[in-house]
A and B are shown apart, each in its own frame.
Chain A
Amino acid sequence: MAVKTVDYIYGLYNDEEILLDAVRTANAEHLEIGEVYSPFPVHGLDPLLGLEESRLHIAGFVYGGLGTLTAFLGMTWIFTKDWPIIFGGKPYWSVPAFIPITFELTVLFAAIGMVVSFYIVCGLGPGVKEKTLDDRITDDKFCIAFNKSEVNIDAVNAFFKNTGAEEVNSKSL
């Protein structure tokens, strides 16, 4: 990924309800919010920011299906084509006995696939340097950040003042 720095102006709020009101105000004033950070998931924020629902669960379903097929078709091929052996007088293709492993691999594939996808789409992973605007965001501050090139700075300053931001700072990431 190309490294490009963005100049942010951001305000810190003390409470998620003030944050939600501020986001509503920003929407009403047509200020384009760059990013919102919080110490825990704030419910009700996603629709205000216009975030679409995550598609991770669809990916999970696909990975799970892949696991089902891998396990079931794999065992079928091994026990009917590659090396057929009779166990306890049962047919080569003994479907009920394949169910437990098929289930386990479905879960395994879905879980690993989703977790890996999560870290990739979020751009997170071991060795990724964090781009934090403020160290208190993971503690007790709720942050609205604007990209300086996209907004009118005076309007943003006025917005922060009106919506009860505790602090307003700038930082380049």
Chain B
Amino acid sequence: MSSPVSAIRPPLVTGHKSYHDITEDLVIGTEKTPTASWVIGLILSVTLLGFGIFCILWTIWNGIGTWNLNRTIGWGWDITNFVWWIGIGHAGTLISAILLLFRQKWRTGVNRAAEAMTIFAVMCAGLFPLIHMGRIWMAMFIFPYVNTRGPLWPNFNSPLLWDVFAISTYFTVSLLFWYTGLVPDFATVRDRAKGFRRKIYSFLSFGWTGSAKHWQRWESLSLILAGIATPLVLSVHTIVSFDFATSVIPGWHTTIFPPYFVAGAVFSGFAMVQTLMIITRKIMKLEDYITIEHIESMNKVIVTTGMIVGVAYLTELFISWYSGYVYEQFAFFNRALGPYYWSYFGMMFCNVVSPLFFFSKKLRRNIQFTFFMSILINIGMWFERFVIIATTLARDYLPSSWSFYVPTWVEIGIYLGTFGLFFTLYLIFVRVAPVVAIAEVKSILKSSGDQYTGGHSDSHSHKAAPAKKKTLVDTAANVVSDSLKKLEGIGPKIEQVLNAGGIYTFEQLSQTSVDKMQSLLDSADGNFKGNSPESWADQARLAADGKWDELKTLQDKLDGGRY
């Protein structure tokens, strides 16, 4: 079996990594002593978390009156933050599940960290509905268990209860999916560890050995979990949007909400993945695994979902006007020109205008710009939820009950506390587990490693950059070779024959005479009568010079490598 190597896709693993290099590079983060920046980060996060816990206890002790919610504005920062976090928690499962189904190999570089992020974000999100119940000690009432009150059941017709099921299912399935992916990698860490550390990882890796049957079942499990997690991830934010859409509040009661919320969730989720991965790859030196190609791919998702969100915003405006329904029209008028106009324009700028910069390939591949944009989008998506929730509620049907809302220090503190929770968990995660899925990166190495794709990472940009000069044999006696299979008429078998004859690169092949090639074929095992090397040298010349377009034109003319 030789893995299919795409002639146009850029490599996803750079630096000519061997399997062992991958293990070394990706496990080292769990083995070396924590750096000072990590320790400082953890201290900061734990401090924030501590303050958040204090604010939560303050709320529970003194009651929900410590928040500035009032009779008109019943949902404020609490539900805004809840929806914001749950939206962020959508990218991980999208990357690991939907991209797995679509066979997108670039997901292997970022899926592990994105899934971890999902789980932590859902934990942060889940806190808010619990706290905002006011009496958190009665939280179990939301679950339909056989109780002594009748049994009295929750209302299964309520979208708020659907939410309970959606989010707890989403959390559980994401956790199982993530951990099952981690087991083989924990085994890799285990087999390099000694003493007590080995005992810990032996426990975490569940006795994984890597036998063929286990791998087969593991792949089957991953695929099916991806298959069911895909509709799940779409259902979760759909159901979150039902919390609003099934109500009778103008501005909420719209059928566009499910797709609009799902697109917004993916949009904000990818922005958060960018924020985290850009820092992680820099600090942990993972540039060879999370390449600029990964970042660009994610930016493409961001610009796509950003435009879907933009279309949704404009559709809402149009429909409210077109409906002729004054309350609906007022809701949107109020959002843009009412007391919270700044959040509306913040949202419009960050979510609709700014992602359009990603139409520029140069900006998509600019790391500093991407980082800046990811922060901007996170802010914009927070504004979106604030606009939908607080702004809409502030001006209801009765002008006498109109109100204004600013959060108290307790509400702000709880929000900051969730950042503390999120980053504490993330920092622990990067120390304990390999941040990039080791086994999965190894499995794409043959098809996406730069030594196999020929090393011309810019070939897809159609610039006729001259192929890098390669030495035939490097110091480690590993042959640096081009993928000769890219030439028409050369298959894996013939590539082996040519390699055996000392021809590894396009450069070499272009200087080999047709007679020499024919004699190599004749003397090799196997039947190559159907293959004629007459065009190979010309094709190799073009490939060696990086003239992929011209090569393509030539290959279109050729018939099985013959003129």
Partner of B162, one of A101, A119, A130: A101
| Cβ–Cβ contact B216 & A51, under 8 A | yes
| Cβ–Cβ contact B192 & A119, under 8 A | no
Majority secondary structure, A binding face: helix
CB distance from B432 to the nearest CB of A (A): 16
A–B complex contacts, Cβ < 8 Å, 6 sampled: A16-B446, A87-B155, A100-B239, A108-B172, A111-B225, A138-B190
Partner of A41, one of B20, B218, B225: B218
| Cβ–Cβ contact A138 & B187, under 8 A | yes
Per the bound structure, the CA–CA distance linking A98 and B213 in Å amounts to 39
Which residues in window 94-127 of A have CB below 8 A to B? 94, 97-98, 100-101, 103-105, 107-108, 110-112, 114-115, 118-119, 121-127
Interface string of A121-160 (1 = CB under 8 A from B): 1111111111110011111100000000000000000000
Chain A contacts to B: CB under 8 angstroms: 16-17, 20, 35-46, 49, 51, 53-54, 56-57, 60, 64, 74-75, 78-79, 82-83, 85, 87-88, 90, 94, 97-98, 100-101, 103-105, 107-108, 110-112, 114-115, 118-119, 121-132, 135-140
- Judged by a CB distance under 8 angstroms, whether B165 is at the interface is yes
Per the bound structure, the CA–CA distance linking A136 and B188 in Å amounts to 8
Partner of A137, one of B159, B206, B209, B225: B209
Known contacts: A39-B210, A40-B442, A104-B235. The answer to whether A137 contacts B191 by CB under 8 A is yes
| Cβ–Cβ contact A114 & B242, under 8 A | no
Per the bound structure, the CA–CA distance linking A98 and B209 in Å amounts to 43
- Judged by a CB distance under 8 angstroms, whether B43 is at the interface is no
| Cβ–Cβ contact A138 & B165, under 8 A | no
Chain B contacts to A: CB under 8 angstroms: 1-2, 18-20, 23, 144, 150-153, 155-159, 161-162, 165-166, 168-169, 172-173, 176-177, 180, 183-184, 187-188, 190-192, 202-203, 205-221, 224-225, 228-229, 231-232, 235, 239, 242, 438-440, 442-443, 446
Partner of B176, one of A36, A97, A115, A131: A115
CB distance from A37 to the nearest CB of B (A): 5
Partner of B212, one of A45, A87, A107: A45
Q: Which residues of A contact B162 (CB under 8 A)?
A: 100-101, 104
| Cβ–Cβ contact A37 & B217, under 8 A | no
Q: Which residues of B contact A97 (CB under 8 A)?
A: 156-157
Q: Which residues of B contact A20 (CB under 8 A)?
A: 1
Per the bound structure, the CA–CA distance linking A132 and B202 in Å amounts to 11
| Cβ–Cβ contact B176 & A104, under 8 A | no
Partner of A39, one of B19, B161, B213: B19
In the complex, the chain A residue whose C-beta lies closest to that of B159 is A100
| Cβ–Cβ contact B206 & A37, under 8 A | no
Per the bound structure, the CA–CA distance linking A114 and B212 in Å amounts to 19
Q: Which residues of A contact B19 (CB under 8 A)?
A: 39, 139-140
A56-B217, A101-B161 known; 14 new pairs, CB 8 Å cut-off, are: A17-B2, A40-B184, A51-B213, A78-B156, A82-B153, A88-B157, A100-B159, A107-B173, A121-B217, A126-B206, A131-B207, A131-B209, A132-B209, A137-B210
| Cβ–Cβ contact B210 & A119, under 8 A | no
Per the bound structure, the CA–CA distance linking A108 and B209 in Å amounts to 28
In the complex, the chain A residue whose C-beta lies closest to that of B154 is A78
Per the bound structure, the CA–CA distance linking A60 and B439 in Å amounts to 24
Most chain-B Cβ atoms within 10 A of its Cβ — which of A87, A111, A118? Answer: A111
Q: Which 3 A-B pairs have the closest CB atoms?
A: A128-B207, A140-B19, A135-B191
| Cβ–Cβ contact A54 & B216, under 8 A | yes
Q: Which residues of B contact A108 (CB under 8 A)?
A: 168-169, 172-173
| Cβ–Cβ contact A105 & B212, under 8 A | no
| Cβ–Cβ contact B150 & A17, under 8 A | no
Per the bound structure, the CA–CA distance linking A128 and B190 in Å amounts to 13
| Cβ–Cβ contact B184 & A138, under 8 A | yes
| Cβ–Cβ contact A111 & B176, under 8 A | yes
Known contacts: A100-B239, A115-B221. The answer to whether A124 contacts B207 by CB under 8 A is yes
Q: Which residues of A contact B438 (CB under 8 A)?
A: 39
In the complex, the chain A residue whose C-beta lies closest to that of B22 is A140
Q: Which residues of B contact A121 (CB under 8 A)?
A: 217
Q: Which residues of A contact B207 (CB under 8 A)?
A: 123-125, 128-131
Q: Which residues of B contact A107 (CB under 8 A)?
A: 169, 173, 228-229, 231-232, 235
| Cβ–Cβ contact A139 & B192, under 8 A | yes
Q: Which residues of A contact B155 (CB under 8 A)?
A: 85, 87
In the complex, the chain A residue whose C-beta lies closest to that of B437 is A40
| Cβ–Cβ contact B153 & A46, under 8 A | no
Partner of A104, one of B169, B187, B215, B442: B169
Per the bound structure, the CA–CA distance linking A170 and B210 in Å amounts to 18
Per the bound structure, the CA–CA distance linking A49 and B214 in Å amounts to 13
| Cβ–Cβ contact B157 & A90, under 8 A | yes
| Cβ–Cβ contact B156 & A138, under 8 A | no
| Cβ–Cβ contact B150 & A83, under 8 A | yes
Known contacts: A78-B144, A107-B231. The answer to whether A118 contacts B217 by CB under 8 A is yes
| Cβ–Cβ contact A17 & B1, under 8 A | yes
Per the bound structure, the CA–CA distance linking A124 and B242 in Å amounts to 40
Q: Which residues of B contact A79 (CB under 8 A)?
A: 153, 156
In the complex, the chain A residue whose C-beta lies closest to that of B153 is A78
Q: Which residues of A contact B231 (CB under 8 A)?
A: 103, 107
